[in-house]
A and B are shown apart, each in its own frame.
Chain A
Amino acid sequence: MSESTPGGLTVELAMTRGELAIDVELACRPGITCVMGPSGAGKSSVLAVLAGLAVPERGRIVLGHEVWLDRAKGIDVPVHARRLSYMFQGLALFPHMTALGNVTYGLHDLPRDEREPRARALLERLGVAHLAHRRPRTFSGGEAQRVALARAIARQPKLLLLDEPFSALDRDLRRQLTTLVRELVGELGIPLVHVTHSIAEARQLADQVVRIERGKVVARGAAAEVLADVTSLDE
């Protein structure tokens, strides 16, 4: 497996989830990598391992020069120490906190007086500053996505993971948010691993696409190349 580029991500993992044997290798440069595949192919399990929420039987994860996981050497950096952000499918905004509380939650290691200004600036940039003191149950779908994106970006992660967070949105809103994601990730210069079912979304967003089927990588490369003949992933 090739060494990662500076700030890039290399992943090797093998694990069993129920009857599915997952054996995947990824090399992601800074930029957007869409991981695609039919339901149950093992995409979300790969994200869970990257986040440190699941441990594979065998595996190695290197981000830039940091080794996050090396089962052979007994290295497993705990979740809280991996500087990453994860946008879950259901967004997982804390319902008992305001938008501001949600965004500042990941800024615990910043001096106290810097947390709120940074969170407010991001909410402002994402067009949801008016929600700062409101709780998630009052947000529309698009507003919740923007607050979740602000929360994910605020801590300036070294890796961003997206697990189909835009799947419930209509096409226009999805297009707006994917454009925003591309802009923000470009500024941070980090790898983003995006699990999605949407071929249109992958074509619009991805620098590279990895297709997974039954736990194995079946294709990888530029979106135009990998998705050229694909019309549906659930085949």
Chain B
Amino acid sequence: MSWAPLVLSLEIALLAMLLSLVFGVAIAVLLDWKRLPGRELLYAIACAPLVLPPTVLGYYLLVALGTNSAIGRAWESLTGSTIVFSFTGAVIAAAIGSLPLVVRAARIGIESVDPTLVAAARTLGARPVRVLFTVVLPLATPAIAAGAMLAFARALGDYGATQMVAGQMIDGTETASIYVMNKLWAGHEAASRDMALVTTAVGIAMLYLANRVLKKFSGAHV
């Protein structure tokens, strides 16, 4: 079994987790703003990748990021390369798939912060941004961390959307999940099985850690 697909998948998963963390927490903060119009619709849209078939998600990403799209053209003129069929495309596809897990966890974490603590910070002279960064987000961190771990595990196992956006190979290497599929079709059952087991172990470890983190701080499970 080659370790290259696993290393590539870990790199993609790590970057996708960071990306979904930044955008997921930002969306959860927006959703906490009670006067935001259509906030439940925004929540539903942010969580849609959970329920969409991976190929449908991949299709939307191809349309949004492809060479004919505004984003795709802007990226190409800036970097000289395309988003689709590249490492960047794989990261974005995995991040979008992972985003709902961070949004949901961060929203739960933010909503569970005692509103009296927020009120106390405000009466002590803190402006809303300071309240967010010194009280709300630190207290929501365990939930956000658990969401990030799940996002990592989800990104690690992404198959459908990644394949549609990034293709079978990225710089000559497959991701772990694509490797499992390709090896199986090619009759290399042992390589396929080994990679499946390693990927499963990493996924279970992340889920276990996420539950430990959440349980330690709130008694909840994800």
Are A and B bound to each other? yes
Is B44 an interface residue, CB under 8 A from the partner?
A: no
| Shortest CB distance B104–A (Å) | 22
**Among the listed stretches B115-123, B165-173, B183-191, which one makes contact with chain A, having 4 or more residues with CB under 8 Å of it?**
B115-123
- Would A51 and B139 be within 8 Å (CB), given that A92-B114, A105-B134 are in contact? no
Q: Is the CB of B117 within 8 A of A108?
A: no
Contacts of B132 in A (CB 8 A): none
| Shortest CB distance A115–B (Å) | 12
- Would A86 and B138 be within 8 Å (CB), given that A80-B126, A108-B130 are in contact? no
Q: Is the CB of A155 within 8 A of B124?
A: yes
Q: Which residue of A is nearest B114, CB measured?
A: A92
Contacts of A105 in B (CB 8 A): 121, 124, 126, 134
Contacts of A80 in B (CB 8 A): 122, 125-127
Q: Is the CB of B120 within 8 A of A88?
A: yes
* Total A-B residue contacts, Cβ distance less than 8 Å: 53
> CA–CA, A197 to B139, complex, Å?
32
> CA–CA, A25 to B92, complex, Å?
59
Contacts of A96 in B (CB 8 A): 138-139
Contacts of B126 in A (CB 8 A): 80, 105, 108
Q: Which residues of chain B (129-159) have a CB below 8 Å from chain A?
A: 130, 134-135, 138-139
Number of residues on chain B facing chain A (CB within 8 A): 17
Is A84 an interface residue, CB under 8 A from the partner?
A: yes
> CA–CA, A161 to B120, complex, Å?
11
| Shortest CB distance A230–B (Å) | 29
Q: Which residue of A is nearest B119, CB measured?
A: A53
Return the contact of B116 from the options A52, A82, A88 (Cβ within 8 A). Answer: A88
> CA–CA, A109 to B119, complex, Å?
18
Q: Which residues of chain A (102-119) have a CB below 8 Å from chain B?
A: 105-106, 108-109
- Would A106 and B138 be within 8 Å (CB), given that A53-B119, A94-B117 are in contact? no
- Would A51 and B134 be within 8 Å (CB), given that A92-B114, A94-B117, A95-B139 are in contact? no
Most buried by A among B114, B117, B119, B123: B123
Contacts of B116 in A (CB 8 A): 88, 90, 92
Is A79 an interface residue, CB under 8 A from the partner?
A: yes
Interface contacts beyond A85-B124, A105-B121: sample of 15 additional A-B pairs, CB < 8 Å, sorted by A: A52-B123, A80-B127, A82-B123, A83-B125, A86-B120, A88-B116, A88-B119, A88-B120, A92-B114, A94-B135, A105-B124, A109-B125, A151-B124, A155-B125, A161-B123
Nearest 8 CB-CB pairs, A to B?
A106-B124, A92-B120, A86-B123, A79-B122, A92-B116, A80-B125, A96-B138, A80-B127
Would you give 25 A-B contacts (Cβ < 8 Å), ordered by A? A53-B122, A79-B122, A80-B125, A81-B125, A82-B123, A83-B125, A86-B119, A86-B120, A86-B123, A88-B116, A88-B119, A92-B116, A92-B117, A92-B119, A92-B120, A94-B121, A94-B135, A95-B139, A96-B138, A105-B126, A105-B134, A106-B124, A108-B130, A151-B124, A155-B124
Interface residues of A (CB under 8 A from B): 51-53, 79-86, 88, 90, 92, 94-96, 105-106, 108-109, 151, 155, 161
